[in-house]
Structure 1
Amino acid sequence: MKNTLYMVIPCYNEKEVLHETAIRLKQVYLKLVDSNKINKKSKIVFINDGSQDTTWEIIKELHEKDIMFSGINLSRNKGHQNALLAGLLTVKDYSDMVISMDADLQDDINAIEEMVDKHLEGFDIVYGVRSKREKDTLFKRYTAESYYKLLNAIGGEVIYNHADYRLMSKRTIEELSKFKEVNIFLRGIVPMLGFSSTTVSYERNERLAGESKYPFKKMLSFAIEGITSLSVKPIRIISSLGISIFVVSILMLVYIIVRHQMGNTVTGWASVAVSVWAIGGLVLLSLGIIGEYIGKIYLETKERPKFIIKEFINE
């Protein structure tokens, strides 16, 4: 089974792109097999994440026509990260290396061979990193760059301009399986493994067909998940803000007493109103952040399964 490559591809309502994705990936696989870089038992595994269209039927159809294609059907929609984790943990016993990518072909499949080459050189993890973001809107480019900087600033070890397009060796996935937390953010967890790693640059393409599965609201939720899953610094920032506001309040008290003794007190509502609104907003924000962490603790203590596999087709 030496150099057996499995690809895991989460799918949610991807009927528009699956056939074309399968055709293009098969071409890459056949090229790698012919050049003896991967074993002929290598497979392409599509993970159906509770799709509401005919995605699973298409996956079964692809498998029936060619056993190079395999499929995992989750019992319900569990989100991209859990679907990806389900794929990784399911195929780790069948493969020597696993590449994860999205089904929409925005990740350049031409980088697959280079990833395999890097692994054969001895690297356990190979990250696919975007070379540029010229196709993104100015807003998305700015927010994405700011987010990566923020994650690193609060202690998260993330790879700049890397999403979930990566190669992992068998032993790295075995170590990943020991992470039991429910709140999953693989972009931050994988670098924690500490194995030898390198990067491969590629240019991200336009989506082949269909609609993006990450609208702004979902991206914002994913960003918050990443921050709170990797670090407790936001809570420490709240503590620092509390101390700072307390110090400012003491200074303001001294200032008010001095002004009163000088007979220069002026009654007014503007400064009081601004202070009340500012401190009130800060308190609510602080409670929200703390509540986010408490909610995560609540979910972790329940120890619910991150995913349930309904069916796995893999001959």
Structure 2
Amino acid sequence: MRPPLLAIVLPCYNESAIITSTVERLQQLLNDYVAQSLIAAESYLLFVDDGSRDNTLELLRQHKSAQVKTLKLSANCGHQSALLAGMHFVTGKCDCMISMDADLQDDINCTKAMLEAYLRGAQLVYGVRQSRGNDTWFKRKTALWFYGLMHKLGVNLVYNHADFRLLSNQVLHEFGRYREVNLFLRGIFPRMGFTNATVYYDRQDRTAGETKYPFRKMLNLAVNGITSFSNVPLKIITYVGFLVFIGSLLASFWVIFVILTGRNAPGWASITLPIYFLGGVQLLALGILGEYISRIYLETKQRPVYHIEEVIE
């Protein structure tokens, strides 16, 4: 049995401070695996330049070879779209692929365990963090709340798993059948149901550059995940509306009772507070509905989420 042809897909944006080190380390990793007959000699790295504004692309051009390929996107599309572009590109051009971030905070040595799981029959291998000890308190808590919320909303996620994973070519082909514009990758793969395995690792500290995933982007990712996989927020609107109706009905009976007993006293609180409460509920409901409608709007247009300007190989 011949060793599998491996493609490692790495989205990158403004990573000039670390990209050369990343290329060299991963090239050495591929060479070691080839020497161990773990992967085929034709295995390669695919960097997806997500519209970098520094000299990341120029540095990648210097490493152009059969082992190092680059997709240049025409504009910055976001991490998930860049990853999607790489996955689509390698489909049918490898036996399996591993996705990871270009900063190599994901432990590259765990790729050996991923490949071994693949050779044992796993079609999908998740890289899962053992702990979040090097995260800030805020990031640890928000991650915990996010996974807990998604679980309560009925979304099947792998806890502490991001985008460090191995996919077989079969999984890639099946994934290509998903035509959604708002793809939440972390929720898609667990629902596909292929034979899977888990590899645990400790996330490394970034050696250079700065994170490209600030709180705003993480929040957008969370909202996208919720609206892509759960209609529970829409049901909550119905429940809240019903409760407000019951509350208003009871308040009406109370007002009638007060008037009949002659104990009513004029005051702004009895008018202002219900207006504020009902107005807040209505605005919240409109906001949630707006999120879902905006997703429908984007889906109906079916616009591509990325454009490849150049393939460097």
1: CA distance between counterparts of 2:18 and 2:181? 30
Aligned partner of 1:37 in structure 2 is: 38
Aligned partner of 1:281 in structure 2 is: 280
Cα drift, residue 49 of structure 1: 0.6
Counterparts of 1:1-315 in structure 2 under 5 Å? 2-63=3-64, 66-314=65-313
1: CA distance between counterparts of 2:120 and 2:307? 36
Note if contact 2:4-2:38 (Cα within 8 Å) is conserved in structure 1: yes
* TM-score normalised to structure 2 length: 0.96
2: CA distance between counterparts of 1:270 and 1:140? 40
Note if contact 1:14-1:210 (Cα within 8 Å) is conserved in structure 2: yes
Note if contact 1:114-1:200 (Cα within 8 Å) is conserved in structure 2: yes
Cα gap change, 1:30/1:244 in structure 2, threshold over 3 Å: closer, same or farther?
same
Cα drift, residue 255 of structure 1: 2.2
Cα gap change, 1:271/1:129 in structure 2, threshold over 3 Å: closer, same or farther?
farther
Which ranges of structure 2 fall in alignment gaps of 5 or more residues?
none
Per-residue CA deviation, residues 200-223 of structure 1 (Å, 9 max, x unaligned), is 111111112111111122221121
2: CA distance between counterparts of 1:40 and 1:278? 66
* TM-score normalised to structure 1 length: 0.95
Which stretch shows the higher mean deviation, 199-208 or 168-177?
A: 199-208
Note if contact 1:6-1:99 (Cα within 8 Å) is conserved in structure 2: yes
Cα drift, residue 93 of structure 1: 1.4
SS of 2:108's partner is coil
2: CA distance between counterparts of 1:79 and 1:152? 25
Cα drift, residue 85 of structure 1: 0.7
Note if contact 1:127-1:162 (Cα within 8 Å) is conserved in structure 2: yes
Given residue 219 of structure 2, which amino acid in structure 1 is its aligned partner? L
2: CA distance between counterparts of 1:32 and 1:233? 46
SS of 1:184's partner is coil
Per-residue CA deviation, residues 104-160 of structure 1 (Å, 9 max, x unaligned), is 111111111111111111111111111101111111111111101111211211111
SS of 2:162's partner is strand
1: CA distance between counterparts of 2:216 and 2:131? 24
Which stretch shows the higher mean deviation, 275-284 or 265-274?
A: 265-274
Cα drift, residue 68 of structure 1: 1.2
Given residue 129 of structure 1, which amino acid in structure 2 is its aligned partner? V
Structure 1 runs of 4+ aligned residues shifted over 6 Å read none
Note if contact 2:11-2:48 (Cα within 8 Å) is conserved in structure 1: yes
SS of 2:145's partner is helix
Given residue 12 of structure 1, which amino acid in structure 2 is its aligned partner? Y
1: CA distance between counterparts of 2:274 and 2:115? 59
2: CA distance between counterparts of 1:148 and 1:197? 20
Given residue 126 of structure 2, which amino acid in structure 1 is its aligned partner? Y
2: CA distance between counterparts of 1:83 and 1:275? 48
Given residue 54 of structure 2, which amino acid in structure 1 is its aligned partner? D
Note if contact 1:15-1:55 (Cα within 8 Å) is conserved in structure 2: yes
Note if contact 1:21-1:103 (Cα within 8 Å) is conserved in structure 2: yes
2: CA distance between counterparts of 1:253 and 1:208? 64
1: CA distance between counterparts of 2:122 and 2:166? 9
SS of 2:66's partner is coil
2: CA distance between counterparts of 1:128 and 1:181? 25
The number of residue pairs the alignment matches comes to: 312
SS of 1:98's partner is strand
Given residue 118 of structure 1, which amino acid in structure 2 is its aligned partner? A
Note if contact 1:2-1:96 (Cα within 8 Å) is conserved in structure 2: no
1: CA distance between counterparts of 2:5 and 2:185? 23
